[in-house]
Structure 1
Amino acid sequence: MAYQNQNFKDEVITHSAMILGYAEKFEQARWVTHIITPDIVKASFGRSNDFREDDKVSTGSSKQEDYFLIAYFFYISVKIMLYRSN
């Protein structure tokens, strides 16, 4: 069973492998409870990094393109830091 801090009014979203408290103010999960079943423990595959919209978020999920500029600016920042360190 998931625990929700009563000070927050997060939307509780249940999936087959996790339960999360979605904080609309920040447009992301405030907390996540992963459900680890024996078949997951024994699995021989790794985590995939494919972004998926969550259609269970009542106010609408973020989309992958929402993160494009963040990733781009992070990439540029790293390039500048590496350039300056040489």
Structure 2
Amino acid sequence: MKKKKLLQKLSDYFDMGKRKQCEQKSCLKKIIRELREKEHKLSTKLQNEESEIKRKRLKKESQIIHAQRLKGLKRLKALRCDE
């Protein structure tokens, strides 16, 4: 093997933490996207729902999903700052 290739392998070996962070970022992005879609679906259901009990349940569920999405965004931002 040439020096460049050996140095690259060595660099990859020491940068395993970065690889793990990249995997976490991609996973977080996927989860955040899914949460955003679910939140939009719930908001449309909430607008169309007539029953007050179901509206309260949907609103509470939507608030929980929104909070989880914000936590994910905060974590994603923290991962980007660590680079």
Q: TM-score, normalised by structure 2?
A: 0.30
User: Under a length normalisation based on structure 1, what TM-score does the superposition of the two structures give?
Assistant: 0.29
User: Which structure dedicates a bigger proportion of its chain to strand?
Assistant: 1
Higher helix proportion: 2
Q: Considering Cα pairs closer than 8 Å and 6+ residues apart, tell me whether 1 or 2 has the greater RCO.
A: 2
